[in-house]
Structure 1
Amino acid sequence: MNYKRDERREFFRIDDSLSLSYRQIPADSLPAAIERLENEVDSDFTVLSSLTAVTQEMTGTLHKIELSSPEIAVYLKSLDKKIEILGRALLTQSTTLLNQPTQAVNLSASGISFQTSRFVEPGSILELKILLMPSYAGILCFAEVVGCDGVEADPSGRTHRLRTNFLNIRGRDRDVLIQHVIQKQGAQLRKAREALELSGGG
């Protein structure tokens, strides 16, 4: 594994739009909360994230199958799609995040910042639920508040910019998050390049 390359990817930052919720938890309850997250079977909220991680792990094998047996590859992709549909159905039953508007965030595999309606003391520990778009991969993790500054209110009336660093995030969820950031960054770079070419600057 190329650790230096993965570390660089981990700290790519992007502006994104997603659904999230958070709640503050006492610092002394964090070890038990982390243990539950690491040891419990996936909840309905996190099942799509785990499925996405498995799909990413299968990418290389599936590519080989496509080269040797295209029809089998198509069949396997169809099965993957059916499983994804079931995962989304479970997600619909388990969270209200699907029904709330997305919000602008700044995101990397090491942390997230977003606007909130109230001041949160730096050093506070948060349980975060993050719903990535358009994959609907749900990530449950814990983060430490490193800053909370008053800013101009956004359209929803949120008046503070909350900055966090992840304290604990499952390995498979971090992999999904890194891949999400890379894909979003690639799409943003392509869009910027196309805009430059249309303006005659390319």
Structure 2
Amino acid sequence: MNASNDSFHNDIDKERRQRFRVDDTAILEVCAVDVQDTSIKPAASFFKSSAPFNLVRDIHDIDQEHAAVLRSLGEKNPELALYLGALNKKIESIGSAVAESILPEDQRLQAIDLSEGGIGFVHDVKLVDAAYYALKIWFHRALIGITAYVRVVGSNRSIEGGYHISAAFHAMPDAESQIIARHIYQVQAEQQRSRKSDD
């Protein structure tokens, strides 16, 4: 009975993660790893330190650390909160421009499809089915950067060249999962606003 209930809840959770799927763009780096590594090392340890990535990650972390303070100010002094929010957007715009200006030439934006459960993207070479990889993801427009482990569930030739990779997130920390969930929600909200403005 308990096993049946667990299976039911797992199916519901999987369905929910797949339903919240968006098309987006990101800068990606991929590194092959052993499955044992996923339980003893952070995914970030497989990548060289990157000034653009660190910059957007730091901006995001500072933003999250002070989000509650800004909300509290909004309740007490809406005008001040509005002003600080505008300053925050200016800082994000400057950070985005600076990060983009120092990006290595071999890193480029590419189309992805993203859900809470995994990611799809086109890669130059075929990745091994069922193998594990460390993935570095920079959501350029949103100034968010994360690293995560993925398990490849499909690697098929793309009609546009390269291989379309379907991968499931593996052993992702709660903090990174929350970043993904918030990003998906924000992208969906932007898409809804865009559709309304077109009507």
TM-score (norm: length of structure 2): 0.71
Taking a change above 3 Å as real, the CA distance of residues 172 and 83 of structure 1, as seen in their structure-2 partners, is farther
Q: Does 1:20 align with 2:28?
A: yes
The code of the aligned residue for 1:169 comes to M
Name 2:37's counterpart in structure 1: 29
Equivalent residue runs for 1:43-122 within 5 Å: 45-46=53-54, 48-49=56-57, 51-52=59-60, 55-56=63-64, 58-70=66-78, 72-73=80-81, 76-77=84-85, 80=88, 96=104, 100-122=107-129
| Separation (CA, whole Å) in 1 of partners of 2:103 and 2:23 | 24
The code of the aligned residue for 1:67 comes to E
| Separation (CA, whole Å) in 1 of partners of 2:171 and 2:101 | 26
Q: 1:163 aligns with which of 154, 166, 176?
A: 166
Q: Does 1:139 align with 2:146?
A: yes
Q: Answer yes or no: is the 8 Å Cα contact 1:49–1:176 preserved in 2.
A: no
| Separation (CA, whole Å) in 2 of partners of 1:35 and 1:101 | 21
Give how far 1:165 is off. 0.6
Give how far 1:18 is off. 1.2
Deviations 1:155-182 (A, max 9, x none): xx42x11001111333222222211111
Taking a change above 3 Å as real, the CA distance of residues 93 and 140 of structure 1, as seen in their structure-2 partners, is farther
Give how far 1:13 is off. 0.4
| Separation (CA, whole Å) in 1 of partners of 2:166 and 2:34 | 18
| Separation (CA, whole Å) in 1 of partners of 2:173 and 2:91 | 22
Give how far 1:112 is off. 0.4
Q: Answer yes or no: is the 8 Å Cα contact 1:148–1:163 preserved in 2.
A: yes
Name 1:191's counterpart in structure 2: 194
Deviations 1:30-88 (A, max 9, x none): 22223986xxxx98635644652553464454233123234653675477568758976
Q: Answer yes or no: is the 8 Å Cα contact 2:43–2:135 preserved in 1.
A: no
Name 1:200's counterpart in structure 2: none
Taking a change above 3 Å as real, the CA distance of residues 132 and 36 of structure 1, as seen in their structure-2 partners, is closer
RMSD: 3.6
TM-score (norm: length of structure 1): 0.70
The code of the aligned residue for 1:32 comes to I
| Separation (CA, whole Å) in 1 of partners of 2:152 and 2:67 | 35
Contiguous gaps of at least 5 residues in structure 1: 198-202
